[in-house]
């Protein structure tokens, strides 16, 4: 593994031990890491797989894919695919493994290396081009998106995806200013328009989050992939999901709950639970990082891990 980039070494996977336990891995497991990032979870999974095991890693970020190819190209157990995870069913059908996956992992949101790279434009902590795209080769950059969206629509996005109290004030300041080229410029505009309301949190935090979610259609991607993930699993296969934002976790929690209940028959009909044909069984309660992990990795403080098992 010589010559790997420094971000591989620096990246710390969140809830690593809990993920490994939840996946219930065996030597011959067939696993999908649908959000490769910088490979922290994949690396841990590979340490548990035998020669008969396989893992399909997916990421929409070309930088992540390049790192994966650099690290795993000589390991026949690993297949690397540059794609959005919302294409999951198509990818698995092409490989004739849809419905045969024994472990599926999602680690939603932006990765630490993406935040730390000023050229990617995800963070107000590093001045750089206002981009924010998970795949810089597709779609509008955040700067282009801000230019074409109306003040009313921007206000809506900041409220919905950022839960920003000063959404209207911030949206007005951005649109009155005109084109915004850099993360530093956007952060200054937001700071001038709205006060810091949470101790230790920059006033631009919620706005940057909301714009990133909108530019990458992150919640739509999650809504699309969850039903595909359920169908991809073999009976007894595990679905393991890490969320970092309340809106993400709400979607996941609702989906898992509905899949574990089965068909929505009226409550007064005399049917048993198995007749409702539930697809998934919830495994334990939501898991959060402990104090020791949070001290070592601040990103873990907002992580929520949920696990379900395919039962039919």
Domain with CATH 1.10.150.170 in the chain: 135-215
What b-and-e string marks burial along 4-25, b requiring 16 or more CB atoms within 10 Å of the CB?
eeebbeebebbbbebbbebbbb
Q: Residue 263 above 90 pLDDT?
A: no
| Tens of pLDDT, residues 189-240 | 999 998 877 777 899 999 999 999 999 999 999 999 999 999 999 999 999 9
When the pLDDT of each residue in the chain is averaged and rounded to a whole number, the result is 91
Q: Residue 268 above 60 pLDDT?
A: no
Q: How far is CA 76 from the centre of its chain?
A: 26
Q: Domain 135-215 belongs to what topology?
A: DNA polymerase; domain 1 (1.10.150)
CB 45 within 8 A of CB 33: yes
Domain with CATH 3.40.50.150 in the chain: 6-112+218-310
The CATH number that domain 6-112+218-310 falls under is 3.40.50.150
Global pTM value: 0.90
The band of 264, judged by pLDDT with boundaries at 50, 70 and 90, is: low
| Tens of pLDDT, residues 76-135 | 999 999 999 999 999 999 999 999 999 999 999 888 888 889 999 999 988 999 999 999
Phi/psi zone of residue 207: left (φ > 0), alpha (ψ -120 to 50 degrees), beta?
A: alpha
DSSP codes of every residue in the chain: -TT--HHHHH---TTHHHHHHHHT--TT-EEEES--TTSHHHHHHHTT--TT-EEEEEES-HHHHHHHHHHHTT-TTEEEEES-GGGHHHHHHHTT-TT-EEEEEEE-S--HHHHH-GGG---TTS--BS---SSTTSS--HHHHHHHS-HHHHHHHHHHHH--TTHHHHHHHHHHH----BHHHHHHHHHHHS---STT--TTHHHHHHHHHHHTTHHHHHHHHHHHHHHHEEEEEEEEEEE-SHHHHHHHHHHHHHHHH-S---TTS---GGGG---EEE-SS-EE--HHHHHH-GGGGG-EEEEEEE--
Higher pLDDT, 168 or 195: 168
Q: What separation in angstroms does the CA of 99 have from each of 14, 221, 233?
A: 27, 20, 5
Residue 115: CB partners within 8 Å, gap ≥ 6? 122, 123, 125
């Amino acid at each position: 593994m010589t010559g790997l980039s420094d971000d591989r070494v620096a990246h710390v996977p969140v809830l690593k031990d809990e993920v490994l336990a939840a996946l219930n891995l065996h030597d011959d497991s067939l696993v999908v890491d649908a959000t490769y990032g910088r490979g922290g979870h994949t690396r841990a999974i590979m340490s548990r797989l035998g020669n008969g095991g396989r893992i399909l890693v997916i990421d929409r970020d070309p930088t992540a894919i390049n790192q994966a190819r650099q690290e795993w190209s000589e390991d026949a157990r690993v297949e690397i695919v540059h794609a959005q995870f919302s294409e999951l069913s198509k990818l698995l059908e092409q490989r004739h493994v849809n419905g045969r996956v024994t472990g599926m992992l999602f680690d939603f949101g932006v990765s630490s290396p993406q935040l730390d790279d000023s050229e990617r434009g995800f963070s107000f902590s590093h001045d750089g081009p206002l981009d924010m795209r998970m795949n810089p080769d597709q779609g509008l950059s955040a700067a282009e998106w801000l230019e074409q969206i109306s003040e009313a629509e921007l206000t809506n996005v900041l409220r919905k995806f950022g839960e920003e109290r000063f959404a209207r004030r911030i949206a007005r300041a951005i649109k009155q200013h005109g084109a915004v080229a850099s993360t530093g410029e956007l952060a200054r505009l937001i700071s001038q328009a709205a006060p810091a309301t949470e101790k230790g949190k920059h006033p631009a935090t919620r706005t940057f989050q909301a714009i990133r979610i909108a530019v990458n259609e992150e919640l739509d991607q999650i809504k699309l992939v969850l039903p595909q993930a359920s169908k991809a699993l073999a009976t007894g296969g595990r679905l393991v999901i890490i969320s970092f934002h309340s809106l993400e976790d709400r979607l996941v929690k609702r989906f898992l709950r509905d899949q574990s209940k089965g068909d929505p028959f009226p409550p007064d009909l005399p049917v048993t639970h198995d007749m409702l044909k539930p697809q998934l069984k919830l495994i334990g309660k939501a898991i959060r990082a402990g104090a020791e992990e949070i001290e070592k990795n601040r990103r873990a403080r907002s992580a929520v891990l949920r696990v379900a098992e395919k039962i039919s």
